[in-house]
Structure formats: C-alpha cells, structure tokens
Chain A
C-alpha cells in the first residue's frame, strides 16, 4: 500500500498567490459554466457578452472601474487592518456610514467653493468610516472582544440606521417607491476624467499607493507588522501593540468610509440602501485572495468590478446576477485549494 505523507515546502514560490488566483479564477469560470449549462444557457456566449459589456467600450470600461472603486478602497482598508492580524468584516457598514457622514455634513454646512467642499465631504466620509469601527476597535484593544463578530454586527446596525434615516428624518418626499434621502447638489458631484470614469478612480489609485507605502515602507507599517506578530517581540521592540492595532482599525475603517463617500458623490448622489450592493463583503474576497497586498487588491478589485458590471447586464438575457457573486466567491475557494499545493507537497511514505 502506498501511503502518502504531507510535508511543508521550505521555499514557497514568490508568485504563488498570483498563480493561485489565476487557477482559482479558471476553476470559478468552470463552476460558473456548469451553473449556466444547468440553466440552458451557453457559457461561451454568456461570458463573451459579459466581457463585451464590461470592458468592450470606453463607456463600459469606465463603468467597470467606477464599480471597482469602492471594492478596492474597502479592500485596502481590510488589508491595513489585517497587518495587525485582525479582521474587518464591517466594511459594508462603514461604507454606509461614510455616505451618511457625507450627507450629514452636506445638509448642515455649505461651502461656496465646491472643490474644497468636496474635499471636506470626502474627509468626513473617512471619519464616518473610522467612527463606525470605533466600538469594535475600543472593545478589541481594551478587553479583547472578538472583532469579527462585533464588526459584522455593526453592518446590521448601520444598515438599519440607514433605513431609519431614509424613511424618517431624511426622507425625500419626491422618492415615492424607493425610500431615499434627497439628492445632493450638482456642485458637489465628483467630476469625470473621461467618458463616465469618475475622479473617484483617481482617488482610488492614490490610496492604493498610500496603502502600499503604509503597509510595506512606512515605520507605522513596520510597527503594525510587529504588533500583529508575537506579543513578546512587540514588548522587546518597545512597541505598543494595542495602540497600533487601534489606529490600524480606525484607518482601515476610514478607507471603507471613503469608499461610501466616493460612491455617493460620484454614483448614487443620494443616501439610500442602494449605496452599497455588498461591496464590503466582496472586498473581503478581494483582500483575502491577494494575500492582503494593496497592488493586488487594485488589480483584482478592477477585475471584480468588471465582473459585477458584466453580471448585472446579463440579467437582460435572463441570467441571474448572482452568477457574478458565485464566480467571485469560488475564485477564492479555488485559490485556497491551489495555494495548498504551493505550500505543501505529498511524498510517498516509503521514500524516507
């Protein structure tokens, strides 16, 4: 009988995350094809239609990148928080909170200079997101309360708050069937670079670079990595691990809040439950699949943005939009399976 034993590889290929993602994506496309075949749809036609309608023209490409913007920003926030080995499952709520903060400032203050007003609104979105993660952050560093559960539950609280606001104090009498707050004025819309592509995407590029620098090259990033490592190392290095964890959480929450602010000022232009369509959850997939690397998050986020646009347009030929969600989640599952073969190898037991 041949018995196989598992051994850890000493050297793991540097590009293993990238290869795992590619193969995972192929596996996911196969799973997607099977689901389409079951529904009597031709997978090849469907995927080529998705491809054409998501990146086939300047307009569709810019829609895809606009869609990618909140995914990338929220994903970067998750990656920053993961530097201290903590999880942020609350990006969805932070996105809503960012949008709520924008509207709160917008209706209470007016600045004549629209550029500086937009800047103020985006800063308040960031603060809104950071505020949203404040309770999980405080309870985590002070008492060690499980941050996965607290950040997740804040999603339900903030979305509940949004529903309350758009049905109550902020209800726009003009929106009859779909409860929403009033539109913000055109003067605070984020302008477009070309086509439909919003300046939000430029913000997204800037923050990708910033997150990359923060995580990999800054002193704070170095301290965060130590704080996320062993407790003793942090003490020897004289690093206040709890303080780093706290600020990492606030910054990460702020990134997701900014995503909500950008989404409001560039896409929806008003607060409603449509601010986010699960961006915060997809962002977790995006961040995890890239091994929490900012540049990777930017690239995978862009691809997933295109997938979501492709997924929403194929509704017209009777294919469920959930196919995009399933492909995204399966990609990560597939990548996890492939990653195993990069980290371990099987050896015949009788060899040694």
Chain B
C-alpha cells in the first residue's frame, strides 16, 4: 500500500506543474525567436476567463479550450504588432500586456465570478480514488498528456530538424538569419502568437480543471513564475519541465506541511513559493556565472538597415 497522503501530494504536484509548464513552454518558444514577452500573466488570465465564459455558456469543453487558446493568441499578437512590426521596446509592451490582460479579463469576467461549471476537462481514465502511483498518472487530464507530447515534440524539433535550427538562428543572430533568406519578422510574429496560445491553454487548464471557478487576479503571479522557469530551464524544454515539476511540488507541498506535523502560519505559507522562486533564481544565476543560455538577440528589435 502506498501512502494516501503521498498520492495526494503527487497528484497536486502534477497538476500545479502542468499549469506552470505549459505557459513557460510557450514563453520558451517566443524567447527562442528573440522576442521577450513579459505579458504571460495577462495572457493566462485572458485564456482563463474566455475559456471559462465559453464553458459556462455552452457546456462545450472542447469549444472552451479552442476559444481560450485563440483569444490569448490574438491578445499576444498585440505584443507582436508593437514589438515585431513597430519595433518598440519589448519590456514596456510586455508589461502593458500583463496590466491590460488583467484589466480586460476582470471586465469580461465580472458577471462570472462565483458561477459554477457544469463540466470539467475530462481525465484520461476515470479513477475515483487512485491507489497507486500509476493510477495517479492515469487519472490526470488530457492537458497533462498534451504537455508531455509538446515537450518531446518541441525538444525534437528544436534539436534535430532544419526548421528548428533555422528558428533558433532567428533568435541567436537575426541579421545572419535574414541574410540566409529567413523571414525574421514573420518567424517572430508567429512565435509570439504561439507563446500566447500556450499561455491560453494554461489559462484554460486553470479555470476548467485546476480551480474550476473564476475570480479576479486568480493567476496570482503564476505567469511570472513561468517566466522565471524559462530562465531556470536554460531555454531547454526538458529542463524547464523539470523546473515546473520542482515548483509544482513546492506549490503542492507547502499547504500540506501541516499534515506532516509542521505548525505554520497559513499567511506565511502563501508567500513561500515566491520566496523560493527568488532563491532558486539567485542560486542558479550564481551557479551559471552569468552564462544563462539565453538567445543572444532577445529583447533587441530586428531592424533591417536600409540597403
């Protein structure tokens, strides 16, 4: 017999990790193309609210997922227009995307606060009370498995295909990529929208499965932790996944510490994930001594000189 508490912890870890991981994988793709998008928090929020609204009104989960992904992706295209086409500052634009995203989703969702969902995202197998590790894994919902498939495919594409190499060339040295005949702006635009789509999926997972309701600011900084995870993972999908598991574990563990006999103030417990994120980020930066593995052109607008 495996400890029931342990299984609960494992289950919560996987769920929290999925949420963080999908958003950070999207950001990884965007950053690989040389575009920094600090708007993850806002994009997750847009996906979360539009997905939730669709699910409440239509009871169609599939449609809700599609709507959440599309709306976040369209929202991210704002960042693409401002930074890729109009060559404006990526930091400013990304921050505004977060502020605007949170405000717009609060406006959209104000009549949906407290509404109940009729349906949730389906699990792969319906297992009422998982009794072993395998059953915990099998009881995860489809988005968890999608995340695994994404990791494998994206890592493979980036490492082993011509397309992946070209894609990364855009983020490493856009001038060289341009002279090789690659369309830098188009690549960056699409990569930003894909980043938005992933954030949207993560948002949909948040409101349709992880905590099935909607309130204002419910993303609670997860978008920023996702950004930290990309740095943590050194812009590599598998390491980012590992980071997400670690943070998912912490998010799951901290509220459970009491059951393991630790007396903790619940208000202090709530802020530990943020403290740990900072600690990990600091330790990692020291350990790597400044060599982070970031795409070299990140944050620099590509401007083809007049020829």
Contact check, A143 vs B267: say whether CB atoms are below 8 A apart.
no
Contact check, A326 vs B104: say whether CB atoms are below 8 A apart.
yes
Q: Which of A125-133, A146-154, A257-265 contacts B (4 or more CB under 8 A)?
A: A146-154
**Contacts known (A326-B107, A344-B87); A149 close to B227, Cβ less than 8 A:** yes
**Contacts known (A5-B306, A160-B274, A323-B107); A152 close to B224, Cβ less than 8 A:** yes
B86 at the interface (CB under 8 A from A): yes
Write out the residue numbers on chain B whose beta carbons fall within 8 Å of the beta carbon of A5.
304, 306
Write out the residue numbers on chain A whose beta carbons fall within 8 Å of the beta carbon of B270.
160, 163
**Contacts known (A150-B278, A333-B100); A139 close to B95, Cβ less than 8 A:** no
Q: Which of B164-172, B237-245, B280-288 contacts A (4 or more CB under 8 A)?
A: B280-288
Chain B min CB distance to A56 (Å): 25
Write out the residue numbers on chain B whose beta carbons fall within 8 Å of the beta carbon of A347.
306
Write out the residue numbers on chain B whose beta carbons fall within 8 Å of the beta carbon of A135.
278
Chain B residue nearest to A284 (CB atoms) is: B95
Write out the residue numbers on chain A whose beta carbons fall within 8 Å of the beta carbon of B277.
149, 153
Q: Which of A99-107, A220-228, A242-250, A334-342 contacts B (4 or more CB under 8 A)?
A: A334-342
B106 at the interface (CB under 8 A from A): yes
A325 at the interface (CB under 8 A from B): yes
Contact check, B285 vs A139: say whether CB atoms are below 8 A apart.
yes
Chain B contact residue count (CB 8 A cutoff): 44
Instruction: Report the bound CA distance from A144 to B91 in whole Å.
Output: 17
Contact check, B285 vs A329: say whether CB atoms are below 8 A apart.
no
Instruction: Report the bound CA distance from A146 to B224 in whole Å.
Output: 12
Instruction: Report the bound CA distance from A21 to B271 in whole Å.
Output: 37
Instruction: Report the bound CA distance from A336 to B227 in whole Å.
Output: 23
Q: Which of B86, B106, B271, B290 contacts A161 (CB 8 A)?
A: B271
Q: Which of A153, A322, A332 contacts B274 (CB 8 A)?
A: A153
Contact check, A143 vs B282: say whether CB atoms are below 8 A apart.
yes
Contact check, B281 vs A145: say whether CB atoms are below 8 A apart.
yes
Write out the residue numbers on chain B whose beta carbons fall within 8 Å of the beta carbon of A337.
81-82, 86, 88
Contact check, B99 vs A285: say whether CB atoms are below 8 A apart.
yes
Contact check, A329 vs B271: say whether CB atoms are below 8 A apart.
no
**Contacts known (A5-B306, A329-B103, A332-B96); A164 close to B268, Cβ less than 8 A:** yes
Chain B residue nearest to A289 (CB atoms) is: B92
Contact check, A87 vs B91: say whether CB atoms are below 8 A apart.
yes
**Contacts known (A5-B306, A87-B91, A329-B100); A35 close to B107, Cβ less than 8 A:** yes
Q: Which of B103, B224, B267, B303 contacts A325 (CB 8 A)?
A: B103
Instruction: Report the bound CA distance from A168 to B89 in whole Å.
Output: 43
B293 at the interface (CB under 8 A from A): no
Contact check, B96 vs A285: say whether CB atoms are below 8 A apart.
yes
**Contacts known (A6-B303, A143-B286, A336-B86); A281 close to B99, Cβ less than 8 A:** yes
B180 at the interface (CB under 8 A from A): no
Chain A contact residue count (CB 8 A cutoff): 51
Overall SS of chain A's interface:
helix
Write out the residue numbers on chain A whose beta carbons fall within 8 Å of the beta carbon of B100.
325-326, 329-330, 333
A23 at the interface (CB under 8 A from B): no
B275 at the interface (CB under 8 A from A): yes
Write out the residue numbers on chain B whose beta carbons fall within 8 Å of the beta carbon of A284.
95, 99
Chain A min CB distance to B209 (Å): 23
Chain B residue nearest to A341 (CB atoms) is: B86
Write out the residue numbers on chain B whose beta carbons fall within 8 Å of the beta carbon of A322.
103-104, 106-107, 110
Task: Annotate A66-97 by CB proximity to B: 1 below 8 A, 0 otherwise.
Answer: 00000000000000000000010100000000
Contact check, B278 vs A8: say whether CB atoms are below 8 A apart.
no
B75-100 at interface with A (beta carbon < 8 Å):
78, 81-82, 86-89, 91-93, 95-96, 99-100
Contact check, B281 vs A144: say whether CB atoms are below 8 A apart.
no
B231 at the interface (CB under 8 A from A): yes
Contact check, B103 vs A326: say whether CB atoms are below 8 A apart.
yes
Instruction: Report the bound CA distance from A325 to B99 in whole Å.
Output: 8
Contact check, B285 vs A143: say whether CB atoms are below 8 A apart.
yes
A156 at the interface (CB under 8 A from B): yes
A268 at the interface (CB under 8 A from B): no
A7 at the interface (CB under 8 A from B): yes
B265 at the interface (CB under 8 A from A): yes
B14 at the interface (CB under 8 A from A): no
Chain B min CB distance to A163 (Å): 5
A157 at the interface (CB under 8 A from B): yes
In the assembled complex, 28 residue pairs joining A and B whose CB atoms fall closer than 8 Å, in A order, are: A143-B285, A143-B286, A145-B281, A145-B282, A149-B231, A152-B224, A153-B228, A153-B274, A156-B220, A161-B271, A163-B267, A164-B271, A168-B265, A281-B99, A282-B99, A284-B99, A285-B96, A288-B95, A288-B96, A322-B106, A322-B107, A326-B100, A326-B103, A336-B86, A336-B88, A336-B96, A340-B87, A343-B87
Instruction: List 3 tightest A-B contacts by C-beta distance, closest first.
Output: A160-B271, A164-B267, A325-B103
Interface positions of A (Cβ within 8 A of B): 5-8, 35, 87, 89, 135, 139, 143-146, 148-150, 152-157, 160-161, 163-164, 167-168, 281-282, 284-285, 288, 320, 322-323, 325-326, 328-330, 332-333, 336-337, 339-340, 343-344, 347, 352
